[in-house]
Amino acid sequence: MFDFDDLSQAIARQTVLCVGDLMLDEFVYGEVSRISPEAPAPVIAVRRSETNIGGAGNVARNIAALGARCIFVGLVGQDTAGDQLEAELAKVDGIEPVLVRDPSRPTTRKVRFVSEHFSTHMLRADWERAAPASEEIEQTLIAAILPLIVRADIVLLSDYAKGVLTARVLRNVIDAARKAGKRVIVDPKSANLAIYRGASVLTPNRKEFSEATRSRAETEQEIAVAARDAIYLADCEAILVTQSERGMTLVPRQGDPVHVPAYPVKVRDVSGAGDTVVAVLASALAAGAAWEDALRMASAAAAVAVSKQGTASVTSAELRRKILPHAYRAAEEKIIESDGDLADRIAAWRAEGLRIGFTNGCFDILHPGHVKVLTAARAACDRLVVGLNSDASVKRLKGESRPVQDERARAEVLAALEAVDLVAIFAEDTPLRLIELVRPSVLVKGGDYTREQVVGHDVVEACGGEVLLIDILKGHSTTALVDRARSDQR
């Protein structure tokens, strides 16, 4: 498993130049309960509607949702839909829109009528002119795109065959990007892959790939064989064939094919899933990800996208929840970052009538003595909160050579224990402030303390709680462990 957090942080430092066919996606949701008396057609009782940035604009949205920066170049008409898209793009943090206006064509607009109950598309109405841009508009697009390449870490071309990515535009952009040493990812629409010659990676779906290579492309082996000729024809590094529920197969020019299975997921809407895949792939490759890591990230993103209604974008946080193991995330969620979060969790537990326990310590090197106290403390309550001394607090208590592990590492180790429900780091020398905030039903400490020596005993007892002292496990001490380790090093 790759380090998701490191890759995600690297993605946030990347800039992707995205060029492609922009469109306005509208979804009209309702229920069908009768057939029209005027014609044998269903009547949809409209409940709601929503409008999204679609086509290549959805690719840009997904790039921005991951935390990367997207410079987006698109083409719109001189109309209301174009105005709406320009306004919507300007609202998205992370997208720098560069729109070319063509008065001779309408802005591409697609309206989908969807059964809310069954999540089924019943009808789609399109307003568009799917013809190549004129020579004048081509030149305007090229003049807008080429100066932006130097600012990008990678170039992404999203072709919906609506007229932006003409042969001339493609040639100029791909050649300029290669000259600048920038990778070019292409989500192709044309069956003539030669027009994308020189791109780094092509990402057709299985149907597009089968048509372009005139192959069955049913199995990984068939895809790999057909892709070899296609790679030569397109002079590219690799071809990635997306196959919906079958996953995705990448065939590189050098090396063996890589297949990544799809995540099991309940599909609600496949609109824009391909946009999500190519956006994540380009962003991850720009950040230096290996092929397989980029594919696994893209596959997870596709699973999140198809589980949503409409043309969906996928955030880094959603990807994180999909990719990282539940146990890892569950442990992280136990670490409280603020007093407000702690108060909210305590209030929720109290509302459920749960008995709350509290203990505290430095827990610098976790040993069996610590585990005994923590498990005994958890046995005395329904939810256990552990107060953890901050690094500065440990230094004041234990000396300049401590702690051995920083506070985040110590918190993560504690949070991984089943006995611990929350970890709250405190900067003071004592946990009194936390105890006053938590007001536990039971306050637990090791048996080397007396009741009167336990910080906060008076607060807890005044609220009707009790102090519980656990016999310590002799022969176990963090200080002794540290001294022994240092002695062995001499």
Tell me: do 81 and 224 sit in the same domain. yes
Tell me: do 165 and 309 sit in the same domain. yes
Residue 368: count other Cβ atoms within 10 Å of its Cβ: 10
Residues belonging to the chain: 490
Q: Which domain holds residue 213?
A: 4-324
> CA 271, CA 89: separation in Å to the nearest integer?
19
Tens-level pLDDT at each residue, the chain (490 residues): 578 889 999 999 999 999 999 999 999 999 988 999 999 988 999 999 989 999 999 999 999 999 999 999 999 999 999 999 999 999 999 999 999 999 999 999 999 998 877 667 889 999 999 999 999 999 999 999 999 999 999 999 999 999 999 999 999 999 999 999 999 999 999 999 999 999 999 999 999 999 999 998 888 899 999 999 999 999 999 999 999 889 999 999 999 999 999 888 888 767 778 899 999 999 999 999 999 999 999 999 999 988 887 677 898 888 888 887 655 666 778 898 889 889 999 999 999 999 999 999 999 888 888 898 999 999 999 999 999 999 999 999 988 888 989 998 999 899 989 899 999 999 999 999 999 999 999 999 987 788 889 999 999 999 999 999 988 766 556 555 555 555 655 5
Tell me: do 311 and 445 sit in the same domain. no
Tell me: do 204 and 239 sit in the same domain. yes
In sequence order, what are the residues at sequence separation of 6 or more whose Cβ sits closer than 8 angstroms to the Cβ of residue 134? 102, 104
Last residue of a domain, one of 293, 324, 355: 324
- Catalytic residue selected from 102, 153, 159, 275: 275
> CA 435, CA 461: separation in Å to the nearest integer?
11
Read off the DSSP letter of residue 452: G
> What is the number of structural domains in the chain?
2
Task: Give the CA dihedral 58, 61, 65, 68, nearest 10 degrees.
Answer: 120
Tell me: do 320 and 340 sit in the same domain. no
Tell me: do 49 and 164 sit in the same domain. yes
Burial class (CB in 10 A: 0-12, 13-18, 19+), 418: exposed
> CA 286, CA 201: separation in Å to the nearest integer?
12
Last residue of a domain, one of 304, 324, 344: 324
Tell me: do 274 and 197 sit in the same domain. yes
Global pTM reads 0.73
> CA 124, CA 121: separation in Å to the nearest integer?
8
Tell me: do 281 and 377 sit in the same domain. no
Strands 69-77 vs 15-20: parallel, antiparallel or unpaired: parallel
Tell me: do 335 and 483 sit in the same domain. yes
Q: What's 430's domain CATH number?
A: 3.40.50.620
Tell me: do 21 and 68 sit in the same domain. yes
Q: What's 79's domain CATH number?
A: 3.40.1190.20
Q: Given strand 120-127, what is the order of strands in its sheet?
A: 42-55, 22-35, 109-115, 120-127
Read off the DSSP letter of residue 200: S
Last residue of a domain, one of 324, 339, 364: 324
Catalytic-residue membership of 341: no
Residue 261: count other Cβ atoms within 10 Å of its Cβ: 12
Q: What three-state secondary structure class fits 451? A: helix
Tell me: do 100 and 149 sit in the same domain. yes
Tell me: do 316 and 397 sit in the same domain. no
> CA 32, CA 336: separation in Å to the nearest integer?
47
